Structure 1
Amino acid sequence: MSKPIIGITSAFVKLSNFSEGVYAHKDYSTALIKAGAIPLILPIAPGSCADQYMELCDGFLLSGGCDVNPKFFDQDPMPGCGLFDTERDQMEFQLVRQSIKKGKPVFGICRGLQVMNVALGGTLIQDIASELDHPIQHVQKVSRKEVSHRVRLEKDTYLFQILGEQETVMVNSLHHQSIDRLGDGLRAAAFSADGIIEAVDVKENGLIGVQWHPESMTAGGSDMMLGLFKYFVTRCKEMKQANSEV
């Protein structure tokens, strides 16, 4: 079977008046290539382009980036809410919802987890540091390849099996928003010490999402986190085969 094509959602960056364009951290591509997939970076585009992305890709990795516009979960921006990109939000919501309908796996990372949650009717904590009474440090001060804090895995989840059935794992952390109310059909799979939902999984739809950055841990040599990408790529292969037989 040919390698699955995985679409990586991207951000827009402007370095100067003469240099601007599409951006996705190189570690996403590195991790997917290590796991046996072909990565394809997807520019932010209108709905019709997103429809074509659905035809082109066998699965989608929703990458990290700016905040989600709080209007999409019926809230006004809090003082701690940062920059958001409404056009990117809308495109990624469309990819999540259509992927579920068409049976294509989705892997949400950091912002990507939050996008999955909002796309399915959930809400977000707009700024952990100002909204939680006793938060731990979720924006680490060391290299993104290094681990920062522990997360506790729920034993009855698929993520627990993928990560070697360990009760706790060390992860990196680069976020200030997080899931508040879970979206429809999502199951919390991991928590940090301050109660933040750090991961979700939905085995039936091939959906997984984590709040940390396993792509950078994988690039840094973590076989455990590479296992997440191998699982995702395998699901893409399996569901591509199943869809072709329908």
Structure 2
Amino acid sequence: MIGISSGYVKLSEFSEGDYAHKDYISSLIKAGAVPLILPIVPGPSVDAYAALCDGFVLSGGCDVNPQFFDQDPTPGCGVFDTERDRAEFQLLQQAMKLGKPVFGICRGLQVINVALGGTLIQDIADEIDHPIQHTQKVSRKEGSHRVRIAKDSRLYQVLGEHEAIVVNSLHHQSVARLGDGLRAAAFAADGVVEAVDITEKGLIGVQWHPESMTAGGSELMLHLFEYFVSLSKEMKQVNAEI
């Protein structure tokens, strides 16, 4: 059972609630997991989620509040949800304490980085010289730009030893200073960090959206979910034997 952290969406005065994109669900099902969307609020419910699920996907969404990496918002910083930030930090902390894998996707990677003491580029267009397009204009199921993968990274092994791949891209923020225990595992052509290797075995983080490429038929991106689900099963067995 894999918990998916949710965001909050208000469509109208009559329609609002917790939200996770359907592609997370379909990708986890393809990888052999049972997905569970988690309404995220800080407090006892997060600890209960940590005990209930075998692994967690920290999903995409709004920006991380810059106060959590000791900065004020720049003009390019977007909407943030401080309550969600606190809840996901708590969920990550509890999952790591219990030895349960966490897969950070887009915002989820940024949450992991900040939780481990790292910082973020608040707006790539403002802070990077000659950036490529990181918020693509084609379907989220399609790749739009290349990333180079470090040969000595775990990601390189999981994705079948590809030195470069094409990924989709729907973000305007990215990793600046890496958090404790993190190492950059993939880069865009403009130097933006696109994935990290994490010394804690149960943590994975990518900046793109493999769930949507998987939903669009990418077998390569499915490997990421299969690896994560396999790791969750493995760690569940280890924890059961302790």
Q: Same fold (TM over 0.5)?
A: yes
SS for the counterpart of 1:78 is: coil
Are positions 1:147 and 2:148 aligned together? no
Report the counterpart of residue 19 of structure 2 in structure 1: 23
Report the counterpart of residue 181 of structure 2 in structure 1: 185
Name the CA distance, whole Å, in 2 between partners of 1:83 and 1:131.
Answer: 18
Deviation at 1:205, TM superposition (A): 2.6
Deviation at 1:95, TM superposition (A): 1.2
- 8 Å CA contact 1:198–1:210 kept in 2: the answer is yes
Are positions 1:133 and 2:129 aligned together? yes
Name the CA distance, whole Å, in 2 between partners of 1:155 and 1:47.
Answer: 40
Report the counterpart of residue 235 of structure 2 in structure 1: 239
Name the CA distance, whole Å, in 2 between partners of 1:126 and 1:202.
Answer: 22
- 8 Å CA contact 1:66–1:111 kept in 2: the answer is yes
Partner deviation per Cα, 1:169-221 (whole Å, 9 max, x = no partner): 00000000000000001121100001111001225431111000000000000
Question: Is the deviation greater in 23-32 or in 193-202?
Answer: 193-202
SS for the counterpart of 1:198 is: strand
Aligned AA (2:172): H
SS for the counterpart of 2:143 is: coil
Report the counterpart of residue 4 of structure 2 in structure 1: 8
> Given the alignment, which residue of 183, 191, 194 partners 1:195?
191
- 8 Å CA contact 1:104–1:205 kept in 2: the answer is no
Deviation at 1:47, TM superposition (A): 1.6
Are positions 1:62 and 2:58 aligned together? yes
Structure 1 unaligned blocks of 5 or more: none
- 8 Å CA contact 2:69–2:114 kept in 1: the answer is yes
Report the counterpart of residue 102 of structure 1 in structure 2: 98
Report the counterpart of residue 166 of structure 1 in structure 2: 162
Name the CA distance, whole Å, in 2 between partners of 1:230 and 1:133.
Answer: 36
Name the CA distance, whole Å, in 2 between partners of 1:204 and 1:241.
Answer: 17
- 8 Å CA contact 2:141–2:213 kept in 1: the answer is yes
The RMSD of aligned alpha carbons is 0.8
Name the CA distance, whole Å, in 2 between partners of 1:160 and 1:95.
Answer: 27
- 8 Å CA contact 2:181–2:199 kept in 1: the answer is no
Aligned AA (1:176): H
Report the counterpart of residue 35 of structure 1 in structure 2: 31
- 8 Å CA contact 1:158–1:203 kept in 2: the answer is no
Partner deviation per Cα, 1:137-157 (whole Å, 9 max, x = no partner): 000000000110000000111
SS for the counterpart of 2:195 is: strand
Name the CA distance, whole Å, in 1 between partners of 2:197 and 2:211.
Answer: 17
Structure 2 unaligned blocks of 5 or more: none
- 8 Å CA contact 1:144–1:217 kept in 2: the answer is yes
Question: Is the deviation greater in 139-148 or in 193-202?
Answer: 193-202
SS for the counterpart of 1:45 is: coil
- Runs of 4+ in structure 1 displaced over 3 angstroms? none
Equivalent positions of 1:210-221 (< 5 A) are 210-221=206-217
Question: Is the deviation greater in 39-48 or in 146-155?
Answer: 39-48
Deviation at 1:98, TM superposition (A): 1.7
Name the CA distance, whole Å, in 1 between partners of 2:187 and 2:42.
Answer: 35
Partner deviation per Cα, 1:88-108 (whole Å, 9 max, x = no partner): 000101111221121110000
Partner deviation per Cα, 1:13-34 (whole Å, 9 max, x = no partner): 1111111111100000000000
Equivalent positions of 1:73-92 (< 5 A) are 73-92=69-88
Percent identity over paired residues: 75
Name the CA distance, whole Å, in 2 between partners of 1:169 and 1:32.
Answer: 21
Deviation at 1:46, TM superposition (A): 2.4
